[in-house]
Structure 1
Amino acid sequence: MVMRTYPQLKALLDELYHRYSRPVFLSTSALGIPHRYSSLEDREIAAFVTASLAYGNVKQIHRSAETALKAMGESPARFVRQFNPTRDSARFQDVVHRFNSGVDLALLCHLLHQAIAAAGSLQAFFLKGYDPAHDDIKPALTSFVERMLSLDVSPFYPLGLLPAKAGVRFFFSSPAQGSACKRLNLFLRWMVRRGDAIDFGIWTEVSPAKLIVPLDTHVARIVRQLGLTTIKQPNWRMAKEVTERLRAFDPEDPVKYDFALCRLGVLKQPIPNLG
């Protein structure tokens, strides 16, 4: 690990941000999939489905997300708003993504349908647990997960009880259990960040300053090499520590560097030496 001063590390991070935070690199990210939609509502739902499946290699993620979204038709938002478990669940029968099945995707749509019906939009449902006074997004994300998993599941589990090992739970990891919550933090980054051509900035009532960096294996390895953390296990504690270090370089938008750092890993590029 090369030891860098604060000015050196800021110069490196800013260089990476400007080098990679351009639309040409969206094809190397799962984020390129929701970018194919023009409607903000469709982008939101496509982003949630895609982020939920964002584990494994990039090609596998793209293939599974595209299969799931194809099953939802031209408008993912309309599909979710009109979702009927009896009528629509079979559309996902061919979707298998590692240990998640089509049943998990159908139940995910059922949960999203209920959340939107109850609050008017997915952002409004999330905001019920959001307080701008909180230090970061952890309390809101914990509340969101708890409330999503408390919604009706009886069309899929007749007793109305979600089994402890139900595959849909994997889409809703919680910081309360210490998880890094990579996929939910990724979705939040896509929805909340604004100011460049990468993230959507649709959720305008959530501050980018409250976001936590989405830690995947690439980012976890690179931030350790950069000296942004000494924690070895990618968990919430590590994600929070890395975010706090990044906040020193941009307090209003600490996770802006995430896309660029992840490109280094995905594209198998070395950390540049700016001298």
Structure 2
Amino acid sequence: MNFDELKEFLDEKAQLYNNLDFIESDPIQIPHRFSQKEDIEIAGFLAATMAWGNRKMIINKTSELMDRMGNSPYDFVMNYSENEFEKIESFKHRTLNSVDMDFYIRSLRNIYQNHGGLETVFSFLETDEDSLNAIENFRSIFLEIPHETRSQKHLSSPAKGSAAKRINMFLRWMVRKDNQGVDFGIWNSISPSQLVCPLDVHSGNVARHLGILTRKQSDWKAAMELHHKLKEFDPNDPTKYDYALFGLGVFEKFTK
């Protein structure tokens, strides 16, 4: 396919999968249960953090966590104390356990109390390349309170080469202005044009199959290569193509 044919193909697939039906089988349904900005942010961040493995299991375990938090994640975070730990004490999702979750909740409280909230600590600078700095700034603030070393592994670092797929997915949820009602678009301090497409096995394999990603490793360099290519198709909304790449890989088995 030439450029115009490929753009038309990807636009069609993005439109096909970027609709409300997508929510039913995706972890983004968790923050969609809430209306308050802070509830959406915290539920979204925790859902994205837990988004590895089977999607049904991810949804079930994140729903369990929301239940343990009284389905009021912001209130739970802001009022969290040692006495509240028993509510999450036995929680576990894959390698993430209650020790990690205790730290996550305390760190989120610190961010809202002392750093202006999640949107503020993620605010990008002037260029697309600053997306790495924005994530690293968030990561630095998130890790500033006492925690066990083991808890750091659940917080990806692009500076160490990670594609930071789950963080970029969370950012897409919060920032992207979506007229289909899937992504929230409740953050205005970051431009959708700066968003980096969440790169995982499915989107990476499809992108390579289409010839829009050449790097074999699914790391930060690959994520940025894909980002710049997708901006050629839509400079204002490059991450809409996450729907196309993901849908082609998961639902259509495009590379088989």
Distance 1:48 1:259 in 2: 19
Alignment of 1:1-150 (within 5 A): 4-84=1-81, 86-127=82-123, 130-133=124-127, 135-150=129-144
DSSP 3-state at the match of 2:146: coil
DSSP 3-state at the match of 1:116: helix
> How far is 1:10 from its partner?
0.2
DSSP 3-state at the match of 1:248: helix
- Per the alignment, residue 244 of structure 1 pairs with 228
Task: Check conservation: 1:53, 1:61, Cα contact below 8 A.
Answer: yes
> How far is 1:71 from its partner?
0.8
Q: Which stretches in structure 2 are left out of the alignment for 5+ residues? A: none
1:62–1:91 Cα change, 3 Å: same
> How far is 1:203 from its partner?
1.1
> How far is 1:270 from its partner?
3.2
Task: Check conservation: 2:121, 2:137, Cα contact below 8 A.
Answer: no
Distance 1:125 1:136 in 2: 13
Distance 2:159 2:214 in 1: 22
> How far is 1:133 from its partner?
4.1
Question: What are the Cα deviations for residues 60-97 of structure 1, in whole angstroms up to 9, with x where unaligned?
Answer: 2112111111111121111111111x112221223211
- Per the alignment, residue 172 of structure 1 pairs with 155
1:17–1:134 Cα change, 3 Å: closer
Alignment of 1:166-205 (within 5 A): 166=150, 168-196=151-179, 197-205=181-189
> How far is 1:148 from its partner?
1.1
Q: Which stretches in structure 1 are left out of the alignment for 5+ residues? A: 154-161
Moved over 6 A (4+): none
Distance 1:147 1:25 in 2: 33
> How far is 1:54 from its partner?
0.4
> How far is 1:177 from its partner?
0.1
Task: Check conservation: 1:89, 1:103, Cα contact below 8 A.
Answer: no
State the TM-score, normalized to the length of structure 2.
0.94
Distance 1:119 1:98 in 2: 30
Task: Check conservation: 2:173, 2:183, Cα contact below 8 A.
Answer: yes
Task: Note if 1:261 corresponds to 2:255.
Answer: no
DSSP 3-state at the match of 1:137: helix
The answer to which of 59-68 and 233-242 deviates more is 59-68
DSSP 3-state at the match of 1:16: helix
How many matched pairs?
Answer: 254
> How far is 1:118 from its partner?
0.4
Task: Check conservation: 1:111, 1:152, Cα contact below 8 A.
Answer: no
